[in-house]
Amino acid sequence: MTAPSTVSVIGLGYIGLPTAAILACSGVRVFGCDIKASTVDAVNQGILPFAEPDLAEHLRQAVDTGMLTASRDLSDAEAFIIAVPTPLISATKKADLTFVRDAARAIAAKAQAGSLVILESTSPPGTTERIGQWITELRPDLRGDDGAPHLLLAHCPERVLPGRIMVELVSNDRVVGGTTPEAAARGKELYKVFCDGQILTTDARTAEMAKLVENSYRDVNIAFANELSLVCDALGVDVWELITLANHHPRVNILQPGPGVGGHCIAVDPHFIVEADPEHTRLIATAREVNDAKPNWVVQQVRAAVAGKSAPVIAALGLAFKPDVDDLRESPAIAVVDKLAAALPSARIRTVEPHVHTLPSALAAYPHITLTTLDEAIKGADAIVLLVNHKAFATPPTIPPTTPIIDTRGAWGGGRVAAGS
């Protein structure tokens, strides 16, 4: 069994584009597909539509050699990789599979019997099987007498960290789950083209659950740290010192609290497990509630710090969901600033985010929020809230000793730290 020589990648975002580029640099002819004309144009010019270390070099090589081209239309290929968003529906906390379904419908027009279709998008259990159903509804000729699709359907969840994607695509172990053993084996051959890590095969539902469980595990542990920070604040205990001391136990490794949990994975994936089995996911659901509530608590700390000020100036440092990236998806920092702006319409909120050049749409609608430099933000500020521990904020700026500091990350250690201490 050999790897496919041509692959169409649907979705050229944070996962799809790195995957397309590394496949192309590894000798596979790749056709990228994205609904955004601006993304397609950028890729075809070898220009990154977002920041990610080492991706620019891979993209330029892939485009210059003609091994990667992009289009808004899906191209014929031996294999199809779906790497589209699976956002959370805010009202129901369930997965919105619209983009996955649209991808499946596009594939239906191109697929042949035996085509390999891989879902990389993080999805609720059973989604890979539904892709087969969506395709064969439009292409009954791809359905056997037993009703099973004449397709090789597999799920291979990404396991990469923004800022290290190009390294971890190669080094991390991968899980490939097929609706049949043949589908899993065929998927494994494709990822062996560039992956040096161990490639583990299983069934599709187990692979889907593996990704959800990995992020739910982290979410539950972060929730413990976040809840601990609330308890410590009530008891007058320094949570950062407490965690450091507790972690000296050989079997204890408490994570760090923060202003909440963000990103496209940890803040979303646990809901997919709860959706699949609400009756038996009380711990997972509660952890989500704890982490989702943390921005509200940070807002309370800031409001207390500026109480009595008629038009307070607040410096909010960081908007990304994690340090040193430009990724704002599900960022608790944005939630904090948004809630502050709504609660304090007379305030002037100066935000600092070294990795973006414009305010996200959620904040741009507020006339009293600006994006500025660190020096401008802290000048004359009535309170400073550190929301993201970017390297740019590693050294505490010179701040008057009477200015309240709400350090949600424990990055500036002790002193005038209100949140989580």
**In this structure, how many other beta carbons lie within 10 angstroms of the beta carbon of residue 268?**
24
In 3D space, the residue among 221, 303, 293 whose CA is nearest the CA of residue 257 turns out to be 221
pLDDT score at 408: 95
Each as own residue / partner, the long-range contacts of residues 362-365 (CB below 8 Å, 24 or more positions apart, any chain) are 362/334, 362/338, 363/319, 363/334, 363/337, 363/338
- Predicted structure pTM score: 0.89
What is the structure's pLDDT at 415?
A: 43
pLDDT at 419: 46
Asked whether 116 and 149 are in contact (CB, 8 A), the reply is no
Distance between CA atoms of residues 117 and 78, nearest Å: 9
Give the pLDDT of residue 418. Answer: 47
Provide the token pair at 167.
């390294």
* Active centre residues (catalytic): 211, 265
Distances (CA, A) of 24 to 27, 142, 181, 210, 213: 5, 29, 26, 27, 31
Distances (CA, A) of 99 to 82, 85, 383: 9, 7, 42
Residue 420's pLDDT is 42
The answer to whether 120 and 159 have CB atoms below 8 angstroms apart is: no
CB under 8 A, 24+ apart: contacts of 356-365: 356/319, 356/320, 356/326, 356/328, 360/319, 360/328, 360/334, 362/334, 362/338, 363/319, 363/334, 363/337, 363/338
The Cα 261–Cα 289 span in angstroms is 11
**Best CA proximity match to 122, nearest among 188, 175, 201:** 175
Mean pLDDT by 10 residues, the chain (421 residues): 93 97 98 98 95 94 98 98 94 95 98 97 96 96 87 95 93 97 98 97 98 96 97 94 97 96 91 96 97 97 95 97 91 97 97 95 96 96 96 91 93 58 41
- Residue tagged 């992956």 (tokens): 195
